[in-house]
Each structure stands twice: as C-alpha cells, then as structure tokens.
Structure 1
C-alpha cells in the first residue's frame, strides 16, 4: 500500500510528528506517536467511496469524529488542518488554507486491540461480557433509522455475488449460497420489516469486528465506525452484532460467540434478533470471504461458514433447575454453545431478567422488594415469552431458574410443547453444606441469593420431580449431556 502522490508532503510531516511509519489500510494511513495519533484519509476512489476531494476528506474526518467520540471519549480528540506556515512548509494547524485534514486521536498500544489480545491469549469471560455490554450500550444510544430492511438486505446480498466472483471464490458455491440466502431472506422478510417498524434499525457501527475494539481506560471500546456509507450502517442492530459474533466464532470458537450473544440479549432483552441471525451471520461471513479473496488470502473457511449458517439445525428447549448454589448458570453456559445453530442456545436466566426489569446491570444488587411474588411472576412470564420467541425463530433455548415451583416446570414444558420441540429438564442436587459454602464464596454474579434465601428454598417441597436428576459436582456437565442425549460437544 502507498500514499497517493498528492499527499506525500502531508505524509512526510505526519511521519516527522509521530516519529513512525504509518499503519496503512486501503483508505487511510495512521501515524502513531508517543502522545498523539494522526489519521489521514487517502485521496483514493474505490467505487464504494471517493476521498479524492479535499472537502470530502474533511467531511468524512468530521463524520468519523462525530460517530466515534460518544463511545470513545478521549480516544477521538479533534479534526485539524495541515496548513503552510510563513516558511512555506506544512505544519499542524494554523490559519491558512488547509492543504490536508487529519483526525487526531490518542495512541493505543498495538497489543491493546482485541483481535491482537484474542490471538495472543484469548478473551476471558469477563472481557467478553464487557464487550457485549459496550455493544448493547452503543446500540441503545444509536438513533433510529428509516429504511426498508428486507430491501436493504436484498441489496447487500445481491452485491455480494459479483464481488465474490471477482475475488475468485468458487462460482458454483457462490451461486448456490446466493440461492439459499435469498430463500432465507424471503422467509424472514416480514419479521425483518416488523423489527424495522419497531425501532431496531438504527445508525449502527457498521464494521463491528474484534479489530475495531481496543482497551481504552481499561474497558473494551468500539472505534472506527463506518463513516463513508450510510446505507451499510443504517441496519438492524442484530446485523451489526452478527459481524462480531461471526468473528468470535471463527477466531475463538462457538463458546465465545455464545457468551457475547447471551450477555447482549440479557442487557437489552432483544430475543427477536434471532429471527434474522442465520442470514446475517451468513452475509457477514460471505463479505469477509470475498474481502480475503481480494487480498489474495485463503477464503475457504469463511465461505464454508457462510454456507453452514444457512443450514437447518434441530431446535430444542432445555431447562436447568435446582437450589441456589447448585451451579445452574455454569451448567447452562456449558451446554448452550453445542445446542442448535450458531452461536448456540439462547440462555435465559431469571436473575438477569430480573435485573434488566429494574434497569441495572446483572451484577448489581437489588433490594428484597425486587423479589416479591408479583415481581417473580412477571420475571418468569418474560422468560417464557422470550423462550417462545427464540424457539419460533429456530434457536435452541436453555432456561436457567430455580424451578422449585411445579407450576414453573409445567410452564417450561408447555413452551416446548407449543413450539413442537424436544424438552429436557435437568434438576441439580448437592448437599446443603456444599451449597452454603458456594454461596459464601460467590461474588460478581447476577444472583442475589444468600444463605437465608437458600435455607428458605431448601425447606420447600418441590413436589414430584420428573426431570433428570444430576449431581451438582465436577461431573455435572458430562452427566447432563448424557442425560439429554448430547454427544460430547457436537451440535445437536
């Protein structure tokens, strides 16, 4: 990659200011200094963008600042001109006519980008949760956009076919993929239109992969939102999220993508996004496949993923119950990635639904009044309604609640029956003293249960128990998989 000839003088100035060679893409050059990073947009026309005009480069620098600064305050600073000083040499700032425009940012250590961290050491659960929280907050703050979602998806789909063929992907497979994708779009088009009418189409990030997250002030922070194409950024929040899920699935595996999906839904309650997820994941994989092909890299894994996301998978409902401290959430998370289609089952945890209803983070504590009988009834009603939504969309579901009340167990089974899917209930058991010790050691969890809550629950007769009884010990996951017919970690 090179800097256009007309920008060489500006590039030389930025190299002197930063003391470094640029980090280049096809459309920009970033010069990272000790205290400041300067981003210059290249004067190029690539079909999907045209930065050849100085006025357009200024406009898109300012648009990038406007889009990213709210979510990365301090990382994005300002836009400044490069002008000629009295000596005729270029300088940063000044009052004369702008020769070039640059975006000024804070420098980020190369090792603090999440794709680098993922490649180096993986992403631990707490960091994955924080990534999902950042995306949920960004989407919640994003302004609504008025589009025709099915038509927009059709345009993206149709545009990918010639791009994939030009990039050298297998023509037969590309055309077969396009036919399958169009069939899936036709199936979900009414639901996508309804989501648009309900406000789920917003001005999103547009390019939400791990390389566009960094650690900033200790938190994962999205940056480099798509600034040059409003059509590609005015999309359903689920399509925005799908890029991240697809990237996580390929880089780190199904469990990482499943964790982010479930944390995201836990924060916002949007189980309805699942209806478009197979199509969105497939589109994101195909886009990345032909981008890699254009760069002369291996596209085969990505094309295979694009095809696989459209393949049908069995849908089922699994409920995990037991007293406080039996490890219901640990088991639910262990089972979910291998259930159903990518990125695995939606986990609906009653504790997280309760926290969302009160507008707090899962780890925040709630007063005793939040556990009144009426509140608990509303929590369970929401959990069952979300499960029905996910099952209707074709996604497997794992319910995570105490299920001490036989009526709640019956409702879980009724949801599966209404959806026409297989149901399995798992009841975890452990000695009371072990449960007391686990609760005493618990911290940073969505459950507010303490020893008093446990003792009250232990005194309640759960009635006849027809669910699979599983010892809540180190072998719980293996025993549960065997009980419900899962074969190892394979998809089922």
Structure 2
C-alpha cells in the first residue's frame, strides 16, 4: 500500500477542523479523499488525470469542487454547504482557515449512516416505499433538468459511441484479470451491433426531449434516506465531465436498476422502473434499458479495475474492488445476451482433471469447485487433510458422495444465475451424478460442456507415484482407487455429442486448454 501524502496525514488530526470532531475517518476512492469528521464531511480531489477527468492542478480542483456543489444542490440543497480552503502551517494543516490555500475541499453535512441505501440493502431493510421516494424525486427532476442543443449533443450516436468505446479501450489492460477475453469480445461486439441497428431509436430520443443534464452516478452508494423526515438525498452526481452526466434519462435510470440487479434484488429493480414509467408515462426508455444497463455495469467494472490498480489503496480494498469488478462484468455480459458456461471436467482419478480444471479456471476467470475440497468443506475438514479410505467407505461413502455432488451442482446454479462461468472438477463416474448437473441448471440459460479426461494406465500409475512424493494435493486418489473406479465407471452415453469433449491428457496442459476454448468458440459460432 502506498503511503498517504503528508497533507492528507495532517488532516487526520481533529485539530485540523474548526468544530474539533472527536474522531476523523478517511475513506479513499480512485479520485477522492473523503474525511468523515463528526457531523460534517470534507472531500478533497486527488491530483489525478484519467483522461476522462483531470484534477492535476489546484485551479482545476477548485473549479470542480465548485461545480460539484452547484450541480448537487439541484437534488440536495441542504447537504452541500460550499467549497472551503485547506491551509498548511508547518507541521499542521487546517480546513477553513485564513491564509494561502494549498488545497480545496467540498464541505457537506454528514447524512445518517443508518439511512444509506447500501446499508439498507446489506441489512435487508430496503422496502419498495423507499423506491417510491426515489421515483417521486426523480420524475420532476428530469422533467425540469436542463436540455437543449448543448445538452442534446450528448445523446448523439457519436457521443454515445465515444463513451462506450472509451470504456473498452480503458479496460484492455484488465482483460484476463477482471474479465475473460471471450467475454470482453462478446460485450464489445454486442454493444457495437446494438448501436448500429438502433441508430434511429437513439435519434428519436433526442427529438422527444429525453436528453437531460442528469445525475450520471445514480446508484445505491449515492442515495440516503432520512426516515424521520420521510425524505431521500440523491447526492454525488458527476461534476468532472459533462458527457458522463448529460445523456438519456434512460441511462441514469438504468444505473440504479442495474445496481439493484447487482445486489440480487431483481424484483426491486423491475418495480423501480415500472413505477418510474407509471408516474412519468415514459415507456420508450424500456427499449434502451438493457443497453444502458450493460454500459453502466461496464463502467462500474472499469472503476473497480482502477481502484484495484491504485497502489495507495489498502490491499484488502483493492482485492474487494477486483472481485466487485468481475461481478459487474458478469452482469454486463448477461445484459449483452451472453450465456455463461458450465464446464464439467470429469474422469477417473489420476487422469489430469484437476490440472486441466485449474488451468482453465485461470483462463476463464471461472468459479471452480473440486469435489475433494467441497466434500471436506462440508465435513469441516481442511482440504490438505488426507483420509485414505477404502473405495466407497468413510467420507467417500455413496451417501456422502451424493451430498457432495448435490452441493457442487447447487453452487454452480447459483453462480451461473449471477452470470459467472463455472468449472466442476470430479469423477462423475455414474449417470445419476451427471444428471444432478443437468437438473440443477435446467431452468437457466447456460452452455454446458462435459470434458472427459483419459490417459493410459502406465501414465496414471506414474502420476500417483509422483503425487505421493510431492504432496500438497487435496485429492485422496491413488492407484487402487483408480482400479476400483474403472470397474464401476458408467460411460457417459447419455450426454449429447455436442455437449461432450474427450481429451487424452498426455498432451501439455496448455494444449488441452486450447482444445476446450476451441470447442467453446465453435459452440458460440453455431449459436
């Protein structure tokens, strides 16, 4: 983690504040330092340049602080108190003191923590009447928001395409880290095709007056409910770039709908849009909703990547940001009509299943479930703890094997529903165990591929000998278990030809991964 700048360290002292708060907390984003100081909040912009925003000079930071206050007072007139200077005197620094400013800050009233929408969601306290408050505030806001030629240009095909393509160019370096290459290519192709085929629809939106100077960052992190007052604060709109704030009303609304989807509140997402359409009479936005949901999910994924790549952000926050980015890209893929993959790597012990599965996991960034690990987790046993039971006995009894495979199928269905690819790694030696997979996902849109791993007996025997020397594998497989499995293995004749791939695993694992990816590509082309 990168060390904080000296000025920021000084501002962590309560003496830096005119009201002397008991405690000062610092929260960082990729563009701001936010100081929570008692009943007030001070926000300083980082001296960064991401292309789409430039805070590199003190003059620019002051200008954008003033823009932030002006724009946010449209929806939160009582929260944004103004722009104040930061003064430095030797080893100390102060907010709101006379002298030569070394920095500028937005000063705000602190909103009630218990009313933050993110917290309500996390604690299961969000209700539909909360969404009613949002809708009642947003309908008149958009109807009264600025429009006209200067704003309408942000609804043009040229502007929309620029924003979308900028996202793609700025996330290229994160492909293979935050989203798989094939998913990146799919989202890019789908977005370009949608814009090309729906050009007339985007032009209609301009003529109909739906391009407005809106919010630009409308999601749960920027919404707070004041329950005693029966009010809602919608804050922190985008001030640093007009093209991100101005645009189709549908783009703003899609952001909050997407955010509710992200938190697995699909019913609330539909309710929010339905209520907005009902109150405003604006049904046209529904034709663009998934396009803008995809765009907004991708933006959030991009921001998560930026946070992950920021060395000054704490390691735990960075790792959480990367996983959050992956989840947002999963959503973007679903909105872009992408279909997740469930890849079942199966075969007898020692056939190289786990080696292939782990390599494929790194390529696809898929969630990975190994039967040995799942089995031991269900029993509260550490993965590396070995139980060399006779075949079909102890923790490998038929009963517990059934429970293990049921759990794997259940985990797979949950992840696929969220848009994530899944790899299952197990012997799947019986038809009834393979059927569990098909049953678990029968109501989901999913591509299924069973990959059967095979190798000559002498190769497998040598692998077991090598594994015994090295150790470190969660598998309890060994030669005598392989022999027993071979006796009872039921050939996968029930699996359709287009859903199975047979692999001889004596090839290098890189070649095997290429074979699987090639099969996935051919399946997508056929679809």
2:214 is aligned with 1:204: yes
In 2 relative to 1, CA 303–81 (structure 1 residues): closer, same or farther, beyond 3 Å?
closer
- Runs (5+) with no aligned partner, structure 1: 314-487
Show the counterpart of 2:31. 27
Alpha-carbon contact 2:16-2:93 (below 8 Å) kept: no
Out of 164, 189, 204, the position equivalent to 1:179 is: 189
Query: In the superposition, relative to structure 1, how do residues 490 and 269 fare at CA in structure 2: closer, same or farther (>3 Å)?
Result: farther
Aligned to 2:203: 193
Q: Kindly state the Cα deviation for residue 197 of structure 1 after the two structures are TM-superposed.
A: 2.5
Cα deviation digits, residues 228-249 of structure 1 (max 9, x gap): 0111111111011111000011
Deviates more, 1:185-194 or 1:95-104: 95-104
Give a deviation string over 1:40-81, Cα, whole Å, max 9, x none.
222333333222311111111111100111211211111122
TM-score by length of structure 1 reads 0.59
Q: 2:328 aligns with which of 302, 311, 317?
A: 302
Equivalent residue in structure 1 for 2:152, among 137, 146, 165: 146
Q: Do the aligned partners of residues 62 and 300 (structure 1) sit closer, same or farther apart at CA in structure 2, a change above 3 Å counting? A: closer
Deviations 1:181-200 (A, max 9, x none): 11111122211112113221
Listed one character per residue, the Cα deviations across residues 338-396 of structure 1 (whole Å, up to 9, x for unaligned) are xxxxxxxxxxxxxxxxxxxxxxxxxxxxxxxxxxxxxxxxxxxxxxxxxxxxxxxxxxx
Preserved contact between residue 21 and residue 31 of structure 1 (Cα < 8 Å) = yes
- The correspondence for 1:255, drawn from 267, 281, 296, is 267
Determine the structure 1 residue equivalent to 2:249: 237
SS in 1 for 2:106: strand
Unpaired runs of 5+ in structure 2?
Answer: 309-318, 340-441, 446-527
Q: How does 1:45-84 map to 2 (within 5 A)?
A: 45-83=49-87
- Written as runs of structure 1 = structure 2, the 5 A alignment for 1:372-387 is none
Q: Report the Cα distance in structure 2 between the residues aligned to 1:91 and 1:20, rounded to whole angstroms.
A: 13
Alpha-carbon displacement from aligned partner over 1:117-166 (angstroms, at most 9, x marks no partner)? 11112411111111222222322221111215211221122122233332
- Find the residue that maps to 1:143 and give its secondary structure: coil
In structure 2, the residue matched to 1:136 is 139
Matches of 2:280 and 2:143, distance apart in 1: 8
Alpha-carbon distance between aligned partners in 2 of 1:2 and 1:238, rounded to the nearest angstrom: 41
CA apart distance, 1:94: 4.2
CA distances 1:236-266 after superposition (whole Å, capped 9, x unpaired): 1101111100001121422100110011112
Cα deviation, 1:6-28, whole Å, max 9, x if unaligned, reads: 55445546765443121221221
Q: Which residue of 1 aligns with 2:366?
A: none
1:44 aligns with 2:48: yes
Q: Which position in structure 2 is the counterpart of 1:328?
A: none
Partner SS state of residue 146, structure 1: helix
Q: 1:12 to 1:40 in 2, by over 3 A?
A: farther
Instruction: Give the C-alpha shift of residue 224 in structure 1.
Output: 0.3
Residues of 1 paired with 2:112 and 2:329: CA distance? 32
Q: Cα deviations across residues 393-445 of structure 1 (Å, max 9, x unaligned)?
A: xxxxxxxxxxxxxxxxxxxxxxxxxxxxxxxxxxxxxxxxxxxxxxxxxxxxx
Which of 264, 271, 279 is equivalent to 2:291? 279
Query: Structure 2 vs 1, CA of residues 14 and 223 (structure 1 numbering), >3 Å: closer, same or farther?
Result: farther
Sort the Cα spacing of 1:89 and 1:23 in 2 relative to 1 into closer, same or farther, 3 A.
Answer: closer
Equivalent-residue separation in structure 1 for 2:197 and 2:15 (angstroms): 52
For 1:401-412, what aligned pairs fall within 5 Å after superposition? none
C-alpha change, 1:92 and 1:301, in structure 2 (3 Å) is: closer
SS in structure 2 opposite 1:105? strand
Q: Structure 1 residues 306 and 243 mapped into 2: Cα distance closer, same or farther (>3 Å)?
A: same
SS in 2 for 1:22: strand
Distance in 2 (CA, whole Å) between partners of 1:230 and 1:75 is 22
Deviation at 1:89, TM superposition (A): 5.7
Change (3 A) 1:304 1:271: same
Matching of residue 228 in structure 1 with residue 231 in structure 2: no
Aligned-pair RMSD on alpha carbons? 2.8
> What residue is the counterpart of 2:231 in the other structure?
219
Secondary structure of 2:25's counterpart equals coil
